[in-house]
Amino acid sequence: MSIEKMEFVNISGHTNDLNAVLVKLSDCGCFHIESASKVANKKSGYTAIKEDNPYTPLLKKLYEISARSGIDFKSMDYSDVEKDSLPVLDKYLTDVSNTLDEYKAAEKKAREQLSIHEQAMYQVDHLQGITADFQQIFHCEHIKIRMGRLPADSFAKLPYYDDKPFFFFHFSQEQEYYWGMYLVPVAYLDEVEEIFDNLYFERTHIPDFVHGDAETASSELHRMVEEDKKSIEESVKKLDEFMLLKTEKLCKIFSRLKTQHDNFDLRNKAVIVKNKFHIVGFVPRSDSERFAGMFGNLDSVSVSLQHADMNGKIPPPIKLKNNWFSRPFSMFVEMYGLPSYNSINPTNFVAITYMLLFGIMFGDFGQGLVLAIFGALMGKLKKWQMGPIISRVGISGAIFGLLYGSVFGYEELLDPVYEKLGISFLPLKVMNNVAPILVATIALGVFLIIISILINIVSGIKNRDYENALFSNNGIAGLVFFGSILGGLVGTLIGIKVFSVPYVLLLIVLPLIMMFMREPLACLVRGKKYRMEGGVGDFIASNFFEVFEFLLSYVSNSLSFVRVGGFAISHASMMLVVMALAKGMSAAASPVMVVFGNIFVMGIEALLVCIQAMRLEFYELFSRFYSGDGVPFTPVKINYDETIE
């Protein structure tokens, strides 16, 4: 419900114990490391550790083996290989890599053979009209024969060369090409070859291994292609069998090397002062006792803990503490950015307001329940992050559906129930109360904006940000101004004259002046001298426009909530259309229409309403009190999924 309190940790000890400490840090799962050089005193003469990671080359080798063999390494208990030295592991990996190379080379060779044979087969298949032996054709003494393909456009130009001494025979046509051969007397070979070059004739070189006529050669090539395919399959099979034997050991080596590699990388965060290392970071206060006791067996190591905010140099990381109800909504908060350490965790506020806004817009008892069940199932079975949110907002939609008296678009279904219970003001039929609903949603928006301003005031005072808490448009000045205007308007509407001269001067004009002068006033409160940058003219101009924008934002933010009512009405209207369509259909088609209409409206409305509610949260509410500049708490751990550069 709040932000987890942190302890700032300073671990120091003899450099001999550094590695052991780092292993414990990555095992504990609750230590957020920071670079010690950020807090080290420069006068102490510290040195930051800058060493090449000795595990990187071997890990790279492993990743290369993984990429070439297609094996994904998993973390495993690596006690079997823990004692092996790095050169021994290097030799093992080199051997595996070399054998892999051999299998891969064999496979590559087989694939090349296949490519050559397929190419020849493709060519010969297009020359099926040739009944003479290829070898005999190529060995004619007075006539030369060129086989290949001619672009269709060039084929059309052949009549132009009617007077030239050659014949072109085509055997097949394939889209843009005519496959065939031309015959030319040896004496005219050069001239005719030039003509065909200009016609973009692509000559096919029939390989020497092709014998017989086109039909015989084709069947022989088909046989060769089949053999090549078998050969490739065998090579792949052998490679798979080899890798199967090696996978377990490779996984163990990977687990060991990745652990040592990541731990070694943490050394760069430490500093050394006279044979002593210093590591700093943060631990959640709830884990601090267990954490401090972890190093009992390392005599040289000492751990000092202090309140996180006592350290002024590094902002403490943020770990949100939420209950089961609001926890799923932390996704939205994180999406916007985490709060700062001393501010307020807005997750509960988001959970309540989001459900409220969604429920009003999506009020249908039946559809809400379906959505809730769908969300719960998706969250449970598919681990979908939005699942629990959908299930909660679905329930909210169902509750508002009860208030509206709407069940799967049937607006009269609950009327008898309320009659029986004697509740006369329910159901609150949306289509009969359009104006009140729109006004009520604006009122709700005003209420939520006031709550947001109050949160900002509390948060500002907590962080001693007086400019923001007292004089900004989201501070006390803004609240008084906004509240007074609203109070005056409501009073006028119900016939009370509120806008007296003192009222206007004290509650409207004075807060406006405070907002206008917020920077000098904040300096005054802090006891600092205000320095005007850019002159008086610049000050007046920039603050005038800013205050003008504040005034506009009060109006636009409040009116923005009218969409909540708008979507409630649109949901009811869409279901009205579905019901009207169903009514006009036959008895058999009507239920189908109702079911599909409900699915359609449910899908489209749920999506739209989710987006609109999130928009209202982020733009109208968060912008008033939330900065989202916190650093997430990320405990150090070995990440087996992450690859190295």
Q: Is 175 in the site for other proteins (CB under 8 A)?
A: yes
Q: Is 439 in the site for other proteins (CB under 8 A)?
A: no
Binding residue for other proteins, selected from 159, 527, 534, 535, defined by CB under 8 A: 159
Sign of the dihedral defined by the CA atoms of residues 279, 281, 286, 287, in that order = negative
Q: How far is the CB of 144 from other proteins (least distance, A)?
A: 21
With H, G, I as helix, E, B as strand and everything else as coil, classify residue 596. helix
Q: How far is the CB of 137 from other proteins (least distance, A)?
A: 22
With H, G, I as helix, E, B as strand and everything else as coil, classify residue 311. coil
Closest to other proteins by CB, 157 or 313: 157
One-letter amino acid at 176 equals E
Closest to other proteins by CB, 193 or 334: 193
Q: How many residues of this chain bind other proteins (CB under 8 A)?
A: 14
Closest to other proteins by CB, 138 or 200: 200
| Region near other proteins per CB under 8 A, out of 148-156, 322-330, 463-471, 569-577 | 148-156
From CA 135, how far away is CA 210, in angstroms rounded? 8
Closest to other proteins by CB, 174 or 412: 174
Q: Among residues 18, 10, 637, which one has the least CA distance to residue 280?
A: 10
Q: Is 160 in the site for other proteins (CB under 8 A)?
A: yes
**Which residue in this structure is represented by tokens 């709550």?**
451
370 with 397: CB under 8 angstroms? Answer: no
Closest to other proteins by CB, 134 or 155: 155
| Region near other proteins per CB under 8 A, out of 195-203, 244-252, 412-420, 533-541 | 195-203
Closest to other proteins by CB, 156 or 592: 156
| Region near other proteins per CB under 8 A, out of 156-164, 371-379, 425-433, 626-634 | 156-164
Closest to other proteins by CB, 199 or 440: 199
Closest to other proteins by CB, 152 or 589: 152
| Region near other proteins per CB under 8 A, out of 22-30, 154-162, 492-500, 606-614 | 154-162
Q: How far is the CB of 49 from other proteins (least distance, A)?
A: 42
Closest to other proteins by CB, 153 or 234: 153
Closest to other proteins by CB, 180 or 460: 180
Cβ within 8 Å of residue 538, ≥6 positions away: none
Q: How far is the CB of 154 from other proteins (least distance, A)?
A: 8
**Which residue in this structure is represented by tokens 């001298």?**
529
Closest to other proteins by CB, 191 or 289: 191
Q: Is 202 in the site for other proteins (CB under 8 A)?
A: yes
From CA 391, how far away is CA 507, in angstroms rounded? 44
Q: Is 174 in the site for other proteins (CB under 8 A)?
A: yes
| Region near other proteins per CB under 8 A, out of 192-200, 336-344, 419-427, 437-445 | 192-200
Q: Is 176 in the site for other proteins (CB under 8 A)?
A: yes
Q: Is 207 in the site for other proteins (CB under 8 A)?
A: no
371 with 394: CB under 8 angstroms? Answer: yes
Tell me, letter by letter, the H, E, C secondary structure of 504-524.
HHHHHHHHHHHHHCHHHHHHH
Q: In what helix (H) or strand (E) does residue 19 lie, and over which residues does it extend?
A: helix 18-28
**Which residue in this structure is represented by tokens 């949901």?**
571
Binding residue for other proteins, selected from 57, 66, 116, 151, defined by CB under 8 A: 151
Binding residue for other proteins, selected from 157, 164, 462, 528, defined by CB under 8 A: 157
Q: Is 156 in the site for other proteins (CB under 8 A)?
A: yes
Q: How far is the CB of 173 from other proteins (least distance, A)?
A: 11
* DSSP conformational letter for 587: T
Q: How far is the CB of 202 from other proteins (least distance, A)?
A: 6
From CA 377, how far away is CA 369, in angstroms rounded? 12
Site string for other proteins, 392-411 (x = CB under 8 A): --------------------
Q: Is 168 in the site for other proteins (CB under 8 A)?
A: no
Q: In what helix (H) or strand (E) does residue 171 lie, and over which residues does it extend?
A: strand 167-174
Q: Among residues 623, 605, 603, 554, which one has the least CA distance to residue 360?
A: 605
Closest to other proteins by CB, 177 or 626: 177
**In 10 A of CB 479, how many CB atoms?**
19
| Region near other proteins per CB under 8 A, out of 150-158, 458-466, 579-587, 595-603 | 150-158
Cα angle: 399, vertex 403, 404; to 5 degrees = 115
Q: How far is the CB of 196 from other proteins (least distance, A)?
A: 12
How many contiguous H segments (helices) and E segments (strands) does the chain have? Answer: 23, 12
**In 10 A of CB 492, how many CB atoms?**
12
| Region near other proteins per CB under 8 A, out of 19-27, 152-160, 217-225, 425-433 | 152-160
Binding residue for other proteins, selected from 138, 200, 544, 545, defined by CB under 8 A: 200
Q: How far is the CB of 117 from other proteins (least distance, A)?
A: 17
Q: Is 464 in the site for other proteins (CB under 8 A)?
A: no
Q: In what helix (H) or strand (E) does residue 2 lie, and over which residues does it extend?
A: strand 2-3
Bridge partner residues of 131 (DSSP): none
* DSSP state letters, 334-391: HHH-BPPTTS--THHHHHHHHHHHHHHHT--HHHHHHHHHHHHHHHHHS--TTHHHHH
Q: Is 177 in the site for other proteins (CB under 8 A)?
A: yes
Q: How far is the CB of 197 from other proteins (least distance, A)?
A: 8
Question: 358-375: buried (b, 16+ CB within 10 Å) or exposed (e) per residue?
Answer: bbbbbbbbbbbbbbbebb
From CA 53, how far away is CA 270, in angstroms rounded? 15
From CA 69, how far away is CA 469, in angstroms rounded? 61
Closest to other proteins by CB, 191 or 234: 191
* DSSP state letters, 405-429: T-BTTBSSTTHHHHHHHT-SS-S--
From CA 97, how far away is CA 84, in angstroms rounded? 18
Closest to other proteins by CB, 163 or 642: 163
Binding site for other proteins (CB under 8 A): 151, 153, 156-157, 159-160, 174-177, 198-200, 202
